[in-house]
C-alpha cells in the first residue's frame, strides 16, 4: 500500500513539472529506456541493488549511464531523485501511471476495458465514441485481455465498474434466482 502511494506521489509530481505533449513524450521514452536498461542489464541491476555498494558510488554509476545515453535534464533529475531516495524499483509503476495522470491533467478521462479477446478496430472506435458521448468530452481507453471473461466487456473508470460481460450477467441471474 505504501508503495502505491509513493508511486502516485512521484508520478503526480512528475506530471505537474511537464509543460507540453512533446516534453511528456520525450520524458516517457527516456524513462522507459532507462527502466529497460536497468532491469534487463544484469550487471547494472546487481551493482545498484548491492547493499554493500555505497550510495554515492551508485549515484556515480547512474550519472555515467545518464551522460552516456544523453537523457534530458528533467529525466536525469527525476532518475537521480529516485536513486538518491533508494526508490528506483518504483520506476515501472510510475511508467504505468504516467499516461493516466498526464491525461487527467489534460482533462481526458481514462477507462480500462477488459475483454476475453482483442477487440477489432471498429469495435474500439464505436466504444470510444459512446464513452465520449457519455462523458461529453475526450476519453482514453486502455485495453486489457481478461482470460476469466467468457464474453462481453468489463469497463472500469476509477472505482466505477460497468460489467457487461457474460460472467456478470450470469452472476446477476444467480442473485435474482437466490432472491426469489
pLDDT tens track for 108-132: 888 889 988 888 999 999 989 998 9
Residue 41 has pLDDT above 90, yes or no: no
- Contact indicator for 138, 108 with CB cutoff of 8 Å: yes
Instruction: Determine the 3-state secondary structure of 138 from DSSP.
Output: coil
Confidence bin at 1 (pLDDT 50/70/90): low
Q: Is 142 left (phi over 0), alpha (psi -120 to 50) or beta?
A: beta
Domains and CATH numbers, the chain: 2-103 (1.10.520.20), 107-179 (no CATH)
Q: Quick one: average pLDDT of 20-39? A: 90
Whole-number pLDDT of residue 125:
93
Residue 33 pLDDT greater than 70, yes or no = yes
Which residue has 478521462 as its cell numbers? 109
Q: Which one is predicted more confidently, 168 or 132?
A: 132
- Mean pLDDT of all residues belonging to the chain: 86
| Res. 26 pLDDT band, cuts 50 70 90 | very high
Amino acid at each position: 500500500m505504501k508503495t502505491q502511494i509513493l508511486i502516485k506521489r512521484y508520478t503526480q509530481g512528475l506530471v505537474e513539472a511537464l509543460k507540453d505533449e512533446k516534453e511528456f513524450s520525450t520524458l516517457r521514452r527516456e524513462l522507459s529506456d532507462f527502466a529497460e536498461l536497468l532491469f534487463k542489464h544484469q550487471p547494472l541491476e546487481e551493482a545498484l541493488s548491492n547493499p554493500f555498494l555505497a550510495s554515492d558510488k551508485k549515484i556515480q554509476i547512474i550519472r555515467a549511464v545518464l551522460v552516456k545515453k544523453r537523457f534530458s535534464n528533467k529525466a536525469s533529475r527525476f532518475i537521480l531523485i529516485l536513486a538518491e531516495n533508494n526508490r528506483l524499483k518504483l520506476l515501472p509503476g510510475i511508467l504505468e501511471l504516467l499516461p493516466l495522470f498526464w491525461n487527467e491533467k489534460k482533462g481526458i478521462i481514462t477507462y480500462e476495458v477488459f475483454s476475453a479477446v482483442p477487440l477489432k478496430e471498429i469495435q474500439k472506435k464505436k466504444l470510444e465514441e459512446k464513452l465520449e458521448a457519455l462523458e461529453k468530452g475526450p476519453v482514453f481507453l486502455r485495453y486489457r485481455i481478461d482470460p476469466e471473461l467468457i464474453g462481453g466487456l468489463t469497463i472500469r473508470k476509477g472505482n466505477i465498474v460497468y460489467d457487461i460481460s457474460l460472467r456478470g450477467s450470469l452472476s446477476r441471474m444467480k442473485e435474482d434466482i437466490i432472491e426469489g
